[in-house]
Amino acid sequence: MKNLKTRDPITRQVLVGDISPEDWDRFTLYAPYVRVIGVTPNALNWEIDPSVFFFLSRMSEGRPFLPNLEELLWGQTVLSDTAGILFLVSPSLRRLHFRAYDNSSPSLIAMKRYGNLDIQTKPLRRDHVLHMLLDMIISKAVNVEHLTLSGTLPPITLTPLLNCQRLRALHLHWSLDDVDVGIVQIMDVLARIPTLTSLRMSATVWHDLHGSLPRLEHLESFGILGNRLREGYLSPTLSALD
C-alpha cells in the first residue's frame, strides 16, 4: 500500500504495482479472521481508495476476499464511485452501517431549512443513484439482519429493503429530518417488511407518523430519536424507545 496525496486533506491508500503470489498467500491466510471493517471517508484523515477492493476482488476471481466478514461500516459519497462497497458485501454479512454523504455543502437538508433551495417533490439524481446502489448491495448481502442507514433517504431509495429476507432491526439516522422526505411513504415501505421487529429513526418532523403506526404491529420495539412518542400512538405489543 502507498499513500497518494490528493488536493483535499484526505490521504488515500492505494495499491502500487501487481500483487505478488507471496503477498496474496499472506493476505488469504489472514483474511478469514476479519469480521468487522470500516471504510468511512471524513472520519479520519485518510481513506482506502475503492480501486484497492477492485484489485482484491480480481485476485479472488470474484469470490468474497473477506469470506467471514460479518459487519461493515461504509461511508458513501453520493454521485461518486459506487462500486467499492460491492466488492466487500457478501452473504456472510450480518450487520451493515451505510452512511450517504452529499457531494455539496451545505447539505440539502440545511439548504431547505434556511430557504436557500426550493423544495423538490421529484426524486433527485442522487436518490436514483442510492436506490440502484442499495438494490445491488442487498442482492449480494442476502443475510443482513441489522441495517443502519444514515443520510437523507427519500422513499425511492428505501424500496430495495423489501427484498431483505432476514432484516430484523433497522435504524434510520437523519433520514426523516427533511421536511419533504415523504414520511408516510417511507412508513408504507417499512410496514411491508414482515421480518422487521425493531425500528429506530431520527425525525424532527413526525406529526404524520401516528397514522402509519397501526400498520407496524409486527414490530416488537419502535423509537424516535429526539422525540418521545405520545401514549396511545403505539399498539400494546410495541414498546417505545427513549
pLDDT reported for residue 121: 43
* Distant-in-sequence, close-in-space partners of 157: CB < 8 Å, separation ≥ 6: 127, 130, 131, 134
C-alpha cell at 117: 433551495
Each domain of the chain, given as residue ranges in start order, spans: 2-241
Q: What is the pLDDT of residues 175-226, one digit of tens each?
A: 555 545 567 778 888 888 989 999 888 765 555 566 667 677 778 888 776 5
Give, in words, the CATH class of 2-241.
Answer: alpha beta
- Tell me the DSSP string of 65-123: SSTT--EEEEEEETTS--SGGGGT--TT--EEEEEEEPSSSS-HHHHHHTTSSPPP-SP
With a threshold of 0.95, does the pTM exceed it? no
Cis peptide before 106 (omega within 30 of 0): yes
Q: What is the pLDDT of residues 197-207, one digit of tens each?
A: 998 887 655 55
Across the chain, what does the average pLDDT equal?
75
Q: What is the pLDDT of residues 116-142, one digit of tens each?
A: 444 444 457 778 888 899 999 999 999
Q: Which residues pair with 36 in a beta bridge?
A: 71
First CA to last CA distance, the chain? 44
pLDDT-based confidence at residue 9 (cuts at 50, 70, 90):
low
Q: What is the pLDDT of residues 31-56, one digit of tens each?
A: 999 999 988 765 444 577 778 888 99
Phi, then psi, of 120 in degrees rounded to 5: -105, 135
Q: In b/e form, how buried is each residue of 41-51, taking b as 16+ CB within 10 angstroms?
A: beeeeebbbbe
Instruction: Classify residue 215 as exposed, middle or buried by CB count within 10 Å of its CB (0-12, 13-18, 19+).
Output: middle
* Distant-in-sequence, close-in-space partners of 88: CB < 8 Å, separation ≥ 6: 37, 39, 53, 66, 69, 72, 74
